[in-house]
Amino acid sequence: MGFDKFCSVGDSDPFWDWNRTWHTPSPDFTQCFHNTVLVWIPCFYIWVCAPIYLIYLRSHNHGYICMSLLNKAKTAVGLLLWMFCWSDVFYSFWERNHSSNVPAPVLLVSPTLLGLSMLLATLIIQYERMKGVQSSGVMLIYWLLALLCATVTFRSKILQALDQPSTVCVWRYTTFYIYYALLLGALILSCLTDQPPLFSQAAKDSNPCPERGASFLSQITFWWITRIMVSGYKHPLEEKDLWSLNQEDCSHKVVPQLVHCWNTECQKVKRTEEKSLYYPREVSQSESKEGRAVEESEILLVKTQTKTKEPSLLWALCLTFGPYFLISCLYKFIQDILMFVGPEILRLLISFVNNSSAPAWHGFFYTALLFVCTCVQSLILQKYFHVCFVTGMRLRTAIIGAVYRKALVISSAARRASTVGEIVNLMSVDAQRFMDLITYINMIWSAPLQVVLALFFLWQNLGASVLAGVAVMVLLVPVNAVIAMKTKTYQVAQMKSKDNRIKLMNEMLNGIKVLKLYAWELAFRDKVGEIRESELQVLKKAAYLGAISTFTWVCAPFLVALSTFAVYVLVDERNVLDAEKAFVSLALFNILRFPLNMLPMVISSMVQASVSLKRLRVFLSHEELQEDNVEHKAIAGSPNSIFIKDGVFSWSRAESPTLNRLNVCIPEGSLVAVVGHVGSGKSSLLSALLGEMDKLEGTVAVKGSVAYVPQQAWIQNSTLKENIMFGHEKKEAWYQHVVEACALQPDLEILPAGDKTEIGEKGVNLSGGQKQRVSLARAVYCDRAVYLLDDPLSAVDAHVGKHIFDQVIGPQGLLKDKTRVLVTHGLSYLPQADLILVMVEGEITEMGSYQQLMATEGAFSEFLRTYAAGDHTQNSESVPKSETKAMENGSATAVVDSSLDVNSVPKMDKEDKEVSKEAKNPEVGKLTEADKANTGKVKLSVFWSYLKAIGVLLSCISLLLFLTNHVLSLFANYWLSMWTDDPVVNGTQPTRMMRLGVYGGLGLSQGVAVFGFSLSMSIGGILASRYLHQSMLYDVLRSPMSFFERTPSGNLVNRFSKEIDTIDTLIPQIFKMFLGSMFNVLGACVVILIATPLVAVVIPFLGLLYFFVQRFYVATSRQLKRLESVSRSPIYTHFSETLLGTSVIRAFGEQERFICESDKRVDHNQKAYYPGIVANRWLAIRLEFVGNCIVSFAALFAVIARENLSPGIMGLSISYALQLTASLTWLVRMSSDMETNIVAVERVKQYCDTEKEAEWRHESSSTPPGWPTAGCIELRGFSLRYRQDLDLAIRNISINISGGEKVGIVGRTGAGKSSLTLGLFRIIERAEGHIFIDGVDIAKLGLHELRSRITIIPQDPVVFSGSLRMNLDPFDSYSDEDVWRALEFSHLKTFVSSLPDKLNYECSEGGENLSVGQRQLLCLARALLRKTKILVLDEATAAVDMETDNLIQSTIRSQFEDCTVLTIAHRLNTVMDYTRVLVLDKGEIAEFDSPSNLITQKGAFYKMAKDAGLV
């Protein structure tokens, strides 16, 4: 044989000898094997890996590492090794020449090969240094392999030297020992890590992630995270403890890759589409213009039906994340193969116990092999999971980023197709779905592979009877598939209900003030309740399905085992079921169980993800705003600033045009006023100039940059100053200038922390006027060329409006050189405009200067004559400037209207004011409370409250059933081991039928117990989530207004979506799994102890280790999870804020900044998530090590005690031990998941303890049935304050208003006008004094009794999505005739009659499909419908043009003739004919008398009237 010749000269040295290596008490390899295979293994490894590794290094450059001591040492050792190998080669040559015996060829070949390999290793070490690799896995494995192979030779050489000293060759022995020592050195050196490369990210970072600099060993065992685990154990982790994200996980790296791939996909589809669409367009060219339009749209319709190709988001995702993710497939493959080593070793061990002649070392060898294999398997599995989770994390980052970027460019038609709630769900829920799927997606190929391998080994074990088991499995697959499909349909239904519920909650929270004023909470609570019930019905059906599927998957492995064993024993009575066959088969069935359970789960997970994928694809494929809607370059040289030619615009291509035949030419620097009735298209005109509308025909050009002030101010949740500066650099002098011009100075003096005061979401703590002024100040500060102002003066008092017009907008204002387009209802500003556009039904009917239009006697002059009586008087110009200014400063302008804590302004002198400005502390200005992360352990009371919500009885029944199931399972396996130990008589087992019958019975009863448990647990979970949601909703609705101003709506929505979702779906599942794994672990320990009592010595020690690892982990993981969930809400809050302000962001061109901010928030969130996933891996490796130790000890003690162990018991013990590792890991995962998810219950219960409003209704109602009958209001010494720590906002007001009086309430902004109405409705409770209505003290009434008997028309017209009818009468307490009558009196009848569904017309979210004026009229209709004796108008006509204003006023005069009307007036002309006027100043009564008397008294009211030009 050639090999033997190669090894030795005279065939004296064979390659392999069984007697020497296996059948012997002291094993060893042959000399030839030592010289060939053991030398070649490391060489083979490095030559195979080197090319791939070098290519990888070339493309992944991390920078350059300077020569360090470590590197010098590594290089030196490598070169020394090379020299010693080659010295052996030279020695062989020398021996040839100088000695009689010629050395075998192998002694030349092997050292040469080894020497070359060492040289290659040294070169790789240097190349790694140049590419910035700090610690190398490839090299570590190489040195380890070399050392292991050398160790075997080392032992052999020592034994040889002791046994046959004569054969020793001194030179070779010496070089070998030195070589061995050097190898050991090289291995130790390769475990250390080098310094970071030059200019690396880590050098710049304050708290870099230690992963990059960790050594290879530390990376595969996740040792590098231990530091954060220790600190998390000592004290709860905080923000500052978290590492920065790795560069490759950051948004700015990940998102652009996905966006690029997605855009490429879209381009491809576009190109193919264009090819198919060109031809028909050409055909219809010849027809007339009208005909062609119809034709073309028809053709397009036909086309869209046949068109199938959609851009594939899946492909884009694969291209982006596939390459990195592929590594995980390799890991998974290796791990799948290693899984089957366990059962094989079990087989060998059982045969070893049976065969008493086998040498003892076989047993120890198997045990060691088992330990090594399980450890390697653990390491590889955790590395696999790590890759998966990191991919999932990047995927989520990318999806959130892509959705955010898309939301900024989406067209308004597409924007209306999905509500804010749905788009936020894309980010939160759907991105999460992908993240969850990524961990399991490999099971799609790995599960079939595992099944095939398991069946192969089973076939070898039991022969054809395996087919019976396979048949059972195949039959169960369609059952599971049907269940999965059904679950999917339920899932979609539940998502839909959830979307609707969140949408409604969102609106309720946004319009909570209106709900409280109208006492509508109960109606809306019932609406949410209805949606919730339908959601729970679906969940209940899903729970029944879940119980069935749990039943099938607990019984599946058992049925498979039963059918296989039954067939095996019954086919031929000579088939004996011995321990080896039974337990190896059981171990294989246990392996089978996992892929079979996982497949349906993965399939349903994929189904969910495909639903999400579709939702995302639809959103990302939405139509975008066309870049060319507005041209900026075309107009660069001309004198005109804005130019529209033959413009036809609509909100979406499908609708008829909103604006027709527009021809406008606006010279640079001019002031243009746009006037017209409500709904005539004034705001649409501005949208068209911004490019927000679809341009169907014509051209639009705008020169220079644009600033935009929308009709409803969009305010961000940040400080006042940040709102005004809007991301521009700070110019202090200009800033001061702007603030003064926009009349914000007095407001700043009142706000708790000046301009550092935090403004709540949507500006809750600013009055309407202040929001509008901040919005205007933002535009002015940004200093643009063209200003589009959508009625910014409507929400401010007349004198403030005049001040702003003069200082900012008018011919002498800050913007006098800019082009200004002002939509306005204030007629007094028109004479100063250079050009006036009159709009009627989407067309410009007239344009020209004020004089021209007056002269032409057209619609405009008619319009003016009708409405000028009240508003416009010629002498309004003659008020001296200085006087206006003085009043402006004297009037403490501020916030009161919607809530704040600032109406208490002590009278200050000028000097005090300056001082106070300096001393203001930004902390005082904090308003919203961020979501706090709770610390420490979850209290037991939380678990108890959850169990109470389920019901104590149900909980006990569930537990009992569960216990029964596990006891039965244990007993069934014990029965099997007794069966296998039955004596064999004449080649058969006589008792087999009885054994088989009992075994089957035990299994079936086990299944029944599981079914009952699963069902009771799921039903319990649903009962609990119903109860928790109801109580939370009730608690939130019972909270006072101040609570909603402090709590961002994002937090509340997060509670209602994320936390309730957790309680609905996750917690019951986790409870099931937790109990399951706990009983599995206990069962396994019991069995092992029964089999090998010696293990009792080790188990307590390992148990302690387990306990410490678990406590360490849970402390850190829980806190990380909390930090992660706290940093999650800001992403969504910022996103929903952005969605509301997209038009403003686009107008100012601030998209980049907002994208950066969003990315920053996502990264901030992932910063807490990343250590969480690494902590999971850290834990799993530690725990699996504990598990692997238990397995090895069980095997070891079984080997030691093989004399007195029956094979059946040993098989039982080890097959249980093999399962233990997985159960242990699962147990800790579940116990920590339980703690982290039960936090949801804690957070839902959080609102039980917050302060509540007074009772809604008292049991014994003290009010007379028709109260109030007269409508007399009496205030006695009435005062109120916003918060305990603030001064009184209204002090000591005593007035008497008799029934039917009309009283106007006037005063500067912040005088306490709105506070008075809030006191009347008890939105804010009194501090002292009383209010009596018809002699009844309102403090003694229930809130609903009070609020439902008086009516308010609030300042912000709030409309909820739902039918018009629902918006007018949510309790359905009026007939249709009543509703139509109310609409008629509020001048909406014609509008509503023209709608397709009349009263059932669906209003969109926030009433977006009605104009602001129409919404205001809708609020009037609500008041008319309730028709109570007392009506409060809160600046209700601020957003309405003159005409509508007059309509409203005349309606109120005619319809509420016999009612008491309190009006908070901005425009004094509305209260000039009232019976009395109350003038408030700084919360006190200044004057109270009839308007005519007040004017003759020449007091405060006279001044205001003079300002407004009424006297």
Instruction: Give tens-digit pLDDT for 19-32.
Output: 888 888 888 888 88
Write the pLDDT tens digit of every residue in 966-993.
Answer: 889 888 888 888 888 888 777 777 888 8
pLDDT of residue 295: 42
- Which residue do the tokens 């040469």 mark? 112
Q: What is the mean pLDDT of residues 1059-1079?
A: 84
Write the pLDDT tens digit of every residue in 1083-1124.
Answer: 888 888 888 888 888 888 888 888 888 778 888 887 888 888
- Around Cβ 1336, how many Cβ atoms within 10 Å? 18
Q: What is the mean pLDDT of residues 462-484?
A: 82
**pLDDT interval class at 43 (50, 70, 90):** very high
Q: What is the mean pLDDT of residues 1033-1039?
A: 87
Q: What is the mean pLDDT of residues 88-117?
A: 84
pLDDT of residue 1066: 82
How many whole angstroms separate alpha carbon 826 and alpha carbon 867?
10
How many whole angstroms separate alpha carbon 999 and alpha carbon 1332?
81
Q: Which two tokens stand for residue 1395?
A: 């709608």
Higher pLDDT, 1270 or 256: 256
Which of the residue ranges 398-402, 1030-1034, 1383-1387, 1409-1413 would you say has the lowest mean pLDDT? 1409-1413
808, pLDDT greater than 60: yes
How many whole angstroms separate alpha carbon 1014 and alpha carbon 823?
64
Nearest CA among 1123, 1138, 1157 for reference residue 424: 1138
Higher pLDDT, 667 or 292: 667
Q: What is the mean pLDDT of residues 607-635?
A: 82
Which of the residue ranges 53-67, 605-619, 844-858, 913-927 would you say has the lowest mean pLDDT? 913-927
Q: What is the mean pLDDT of residues 653-667?
A: 84
Write the pLDDT tens digit of every residue in 722-731.
Answer: 888 888 888 8
Cβ atoms of 138 and 128 within 8 Å: the answer is no
**pLDDT interval class at 1158 (50, 70, 90):** very high
Nearest CA among 1399, 1360, 1392, 1359 for reference residue 1376: 1399
pLDDT of residue 1298: 85
Amino acid identity of residue 414, one-letter, is A
Cβ atoms of 28 and 125 within 8 Å: the answer is no
Number of H helices, E strands in the chain: 55, 21
**Strands (DSSP E) along 528-597, which ranges?**
none
- Around Cβ 206, how many Cβ atoms within 10 Å? 7
pLDDT of residue 203: 62
The three-state secondary structure class of 634 is coil
Question: Distance of CA 236 to CAs 232, 241, 291, 461, 1119, Å?
Answer: 5, 10, 73, 53, 6
Write the pLDDT tens digit of every residue in 773-798.
Answer: 888 998 998 888 889 998 888 777 77
Q: Count Cβ atoms within 10 A of the Cβ of residue 100 and give its class: 0-12 exposed, 13-18 middle, 19 or more buried.
A: exposed
Amino acid identity of residue 707, one-letter, is A
Q: What is the mean pLDDT of residues 214-239?
A: 87
903, pLDDT greater than 70: no
169, pLDDT greater than 90: no
Nearest CA among 1164, 1167, 1179, 1161 for reference residue 1233: 1179
How many whole angstroms separate alpha carbon 329 and alpha carbon 334?
9
Which of the residue ranges 86-95, 935-944, 1180-1189 would you say has the lowest mean pLDDT? 935-944
**pLDDT interval class at 120 (50, 70, 90):** very high
Write the pLDDT tens digit of every residue in 257-290.
Answer: 999 999 998 888 888 877 765 554 444 433 444 4
pLDDT of residue 915: 34
How many whole angstroms separate alpha carbon 112 and alpha carbon 41?
14
The three-state (H, E, C) secondary structure of 512-524, written as one string: HHHHHHHCCHHHH
**pLDDT interval class at 1163 (50, 70, 90):** very high
- The H-or-E segment that residue 1506 falls in is helix 1500-1507
Q: How far from the centroid of its chain's Cα atoms is residue 1208's Cα?
A: 52
Q: Which two tokens stand for residue 1072?
A: 């099931």
How many whole angstroms separate alpha carbon 1505 and alpha carbon 1220?
87
Q: What is the mean pLDDT of residues 763-775?
A: 82
Q: What is the mean pLDDT of residues 432-453?
A: 85
Nearest CA among 1040, 1115, 1011, 746 for reference residue 895: 746
Record the pTM: 0.76
pLDDT of residue 889: 30
**pLDDT interval class at 1159 (50, 70, 90):** very high
48, pLDDT greater than 90: yes
- Which residue do the tokens 């556009």 mark? 837
CA atoms within 13 A of residue 466's CA, in its CB half-sphere? 21
pLDDT of residue 877: 34
How many whole angstroms separate alpha carbon 716 and alpha carbon 702?
27
Higher pLDDT, 659 or 889: 659
200, pLDDT greater than 80: no
pLDDT of residue 923: 55
How many residues are there in the chain? Answer: 1511
Share of the chain above pLDDT 70, in %: 91
Write the pLDDT tens digit of every residue in 571-596.
Answer: 887 788 888 888 888 888 878 777 87
Higher pLDDT, 1172 or 603: 1172
Higher pLDDT, 291 or 1453: 1453
pLDDT of residue 283: 40
pLDDT, mean over the chain: 81
How many whole angstroms separate alpha carbon 1159 and alpha carbon 1165?
10
1, pLDDT greater than 50: no
